Amino acid sequence: MPREAFKCYYNPKTKLYRKRIKGITLYDRDEKELKKKYNQVKKEFEASIQVKENVTVAEYAIRWFKLNTGELSNSRQSDYRTAINKRIAPKIGNMQVKEIKPDDLKEIMSDMKDMSYSSQIKTVTALKKIFQSAEDNKLIMRSPCFSLKAGGYESEEKIPLSDKQADILLESVKGTSVYPFIMLGLYTGMRREEILGLCWDSVYLEDTPYISVRRALTFENSRPKVSEELKTKAAYRNIPIPPMLVDCLKTMEHKSKFVLCNILNQPHSLTSFRNMWDIVSRRVVFVEENLALVNKECKKSKRGPKIKRNIDFAVSPHILRHTYITNLILSGMNIKKVQYLAGHKDLRMTLGIYTKLMENKPKDMIDDIKNVFRVKDGVKNI
């Protein structure tokens, strides 16, 4: 009797093949590799190597993670790993999956009550996916997560740098290793991982200067991992660069194939990146309990020069990108062009920034209202 043909679903957007078996969804970019995964899981079920009835939450969470996160981005995998290791397992890891009640999960969220919404929603999502999988596999009759919700405070809105603040920041770090990183952030809007993964073969400084975003550098156990697979198709883009950034890049030595590298001319690890960013941190003023900004001086080391703390505003790698996008929008640039240069997959993300930048105070809208209700034929406005 001929074997049944292997059938699976292909998603052209994600370029992933998908196949379900016993409530488990398997993914792979290669159809043959997906078939191997499918056959392996099938053998496990046929050989009764299934999850035992009295499986603990920790055991099942580990199994769920291995089967369902292989094709996710490193950052998303990290979110699930953190949720399981730091929030879920310490609280209910030793309990059996079938014993978990809604109140057990509410205790997890209660311990996170002082955390932000974005932190809480990652744990809620992990719990819902894990217990939904347990339900699909008939380990439990119903997931205990049906009423689980994230709370917490909203993350503080990131405020873009003004032109004056950007000048202060650049002047403060000029001549240091972090200076090119800040220049790239302010004048290309690239994400941190895109800047750290940038190689000289993607930098074009003649004719019409531009940077081609083709790689990203992420961290696995603090070690660098460079990939040519970006988070979305929209992340692949060519960004024209202004003269000040061209001049900056032309003066840099090509010690490595990476535009930014550590002292060994290798791509940055998480530790070396943090050390580089500390150049900025050491120049930020102290904030005393009375909220008075104290402009002090400190020593980098016993032999190092004095460092003046003159950055009295919040700054982070993401704020550099937010500043770039804000400047594009305020310049009046077409919103679709802004979306492309920012590498946003969804226009709604770009429009969200645009909406926040709109002035909605009465004094800023009064002229618009007068124009809407203007009386024609020379009659004066009311």
Does the pLDDT at position 375 exceed 60? no
CB of 131 closer than 8 Å to CB of 140: yes
Average pLDDT over residues 132-136: 89
Q: Among residues of the chain, what percentage have pLDDT more than 90? A: 48
Q: How does residue 306 score in pLDDT terms, banded at 50, 70 and 90? A: low
pLDDT at 180: 97
Q: How does residue 41 score in pLDDT terms, banded at 50, 70 and 90? A: confident
CB of 324 closer than 8 Å to CB of 344: no
> SS3 for 238?
strand
List, in order, residues 6 or more apart from 285 with CB less than 8 Å away: 293, 294, 295, 296, 309, 310, 311, 312
Give the separation between CA 336 and CA 333, rounded to whole angstroms. Answer: 8
Q: How does residue 370 score in pLDDT terms, banded at 50, 70 and 90? A: confident
Which residue did the predictor score with more confidence, 39 or 354?
39
CA atoms within 13 A on the CB side of 370: 9
Helix (H) or strand (E) holding 305: none
Does the pLDDT at position 272 exceed 70? yes
For 165, 180, 209, 248, the CA distances from 244, given in Å and listed in that order, are 17, 11, 11, 6
Strands 286-287 and 237-240: unpaired
Average pLDDT over residues 193-213: 95
Does the pLDDT at position 229 exceed 90? no
Give the separation between CA 279 and CA 14, rounded to whole angstroms. Answer: 39
pLDDT at 298: 45
- Determine whether 294 is exposed, middle or buried from the number of CB atoms within 10 Å of its CB (0-12, 13-18, 19+): exposed
List, in order, residues 6 or more apart from 8 with CB less than 8 Å away: 17, 18, 19, 31, 34, 35, 38
Q: What does 41-81 look like in DSSP terms, one character per residue? A: HHHHHHTT-PPPTT-BHHHHHHHHHHHHSTTS-HHHHHHHH
Does the pLDDT at position 290 exceed 50? no
The dihedral built from the CA positions of residue 332, 192, 311 and 114, taken in this order, carries a sign that is positive
Tokens, residue 55: 């499986």
Which residue did the predictor score with more confidence, 303 or 370?
370
Q: How does residue 161 score in pLDDT terms, banded at 50, 70 and 90? A: very high
Q: Phi first, then psi: what are they for 366, rounded to 5°?
A: -60, -40
List, in order, residues 6 or more apart from 169 with CB less than 8 Å away: 161, 182, 280, 311, 315
Average pLDDT score over the chain: 84
Pick from 124, 162, 163: which is nearest to 143 by CA? 124
Average pLDDT over residues 262-277: 94
List, in order, residues 6 or more apart from 42 with CB less than 8 Å away: 21
pLDDT at 32: 86
Does the pLDDT at position 74 exceed 60? yes
Give the separation between CA 107 and CA 144, rounded to whole angstroms. Answer: 13
Average pLDDT over residues 285-313: 56
Give the separation between CA 287 and CA 281, rounded to whole angstroms. Answer: 13
Model-level pTM greater than 0.75? Answer: no
Q: Which domains does the chain have, with CATH numbers?
A: 9-136 (1.10.150.130), 163-357 (1.10.443.10)
pLDDT at 91: 92
